[in-house]
Amino acid sequence: MTSLRHTALGAALALAALTGTGAAHADPASAAPYAVSASALPVFADGYGLTVVPGATEVHSPTDFTLTVTTKQLSGTHRIRILLPAAYDTDPGRRWPVTYFLHGGGGGVDDVAAAPALHADSMITVVPDGGLKGWYADWLMQNTAEGAANWETFHLTQVVPFIDANLRTVNDRAHRAVVGLSMGGYGSLHYAEARPDLFGQVAVMSGGIDFGQWKIRAAVLATELNVTGAWCAVSTSGSGACTGYGSYVDSDAIFGSPYSVFNADRVWKAVDPAAPVNLAKLSGTGIALYTGNNDVIDVNTAAASATVKARLDHLGIPSRLVDYGNGASLAPTCNGGHNYGCWAPAFADYVPRLATAFAAAG
């Protein structure tokens, strides 16, 4: 066992060496409080295991606010940022499709401000906390320094019905999307596969979506072990801050052992978004994959995206892959790397397509 743990650390250190220079980030719009009372916002009732913390709501604008909630599924308090369409208040008879945005590792709910296309007049956008290294999973180990860590349960069985109960949503899969980047790209594709009854559309930006790649497994290990050299490089915080990944936890804490000896990596295989048995669950789901290939991180997400695309093609499941390479074809801000300079224009391309799909669903 000791030798395996040493190997895990070595894999994470290898990732740190590969990514030691850090990724560029775009600064998000200011999240300073707006001069609107929280009482002017929609009223949220507790439910589905969530308790809203009184007096903790942050108001960024009349259509942009952040709740703080508690749940037995997670230790501590957690934030849910909500972006409403401009007509939400003035058109009270209308119901809206919903998009869930899953942020990346080292990030948080305020990162959505770095992708302004997600605050669209065609839909509600919900940004739930995913933890600095939650990996959108119910952790195997619940007794680490992180405490209770049932992120998948929190999102899929608590946040989604909580939003539907408290906002005027169109409550069906055809009008619900899950999108994410980097760690959140893994989360979005995994959630779409785990709950095809919930999500009719999925988009992945530079996602760690192939657990068959050792470098992607190493990225997970780096976040668990807080390998210092990897912090800035794989952080996806839109603020550009590099604060690390919280408390050190065991390298097996989230998905168990990453090694294939005696099938020890069975959990990794079971939740691998690139596994054909999981991809087959996406039949009837709109799928979009975006990636660059111009830095040491996105060269791996490009390979992962190509693998997923090829397997979807083999299964006869339609999907759209946009590999924008060095970024020149996407936007002047994009260098083809793992950053919001690319992700913001990628979302600007994707959101109108998503709005069209929502509209076509009736």
For the cut 90, the answer to whether the pLDDT of residue 24 exceeds it is no
- pLDDT > 70 in the chain, percent: 85
- Residue-level pLDDT at 352: 98
Give the residue with greater pLDDT, 192 vs 107. Answer: 192
Q: Tell how strand 51-52 and strand 64-70 pair up.
A: antiparallel
Question: Quick one: average pLDDT of 299-326?
Answer: 98
Cα angle, residue 152 at apex, residues 148 and 153 outer, rounded to 5°: 70
Tens digit of pLDDT for each residue in 69-113? 999 999 999 999 999 999 999 999 999 999 999 999 989 999 999
Higher-pLDDT residue of 279 and 22 is 279
**DSSP letter for each residue of 50-82:** BEEPTT--EEEETTEEEEEEE-TTBSSEEEEEE
Per CATH, is 2-360 categorized as 3.40.309.10?
no
Confidence (pLDDT) at 4: 44
Q: Give the start-end residues of each E strand in 73-144.
A: 77-83, 98-102, 124-128
Q: Where are the domains of the chain?
A: 2-360
325: left (phi over 0), alpha (psi -120 to 50) or beta: left
* Cα 225 to Cα 253: distance, rounded to the nearest angstrom: 10
CB 227 within 8 A of CB 17: no
* pLDDT at residue 239, as a whole number: 54
Whose CA is closest to 118, among 30, 54, 28? 28
Q: What's the pLDDT at 246? A: 85
Beta strands in the chain (DSSP E): 51-52, 58-61, 64-70, 77-83, 98-102, 124-128, 176-181, 201-205, 286-291, 320-323
> What are 29-62's pLDDT values in tens digits?
444 555 566 668 999 999 999 999 999 999 999 9
Question: How far is it, in rounded angstroms, from Cα 202 to Cα 289?
Answer: 9
Lowest mean pLDDT across 39-43, 145-149, 323-327: 39-43
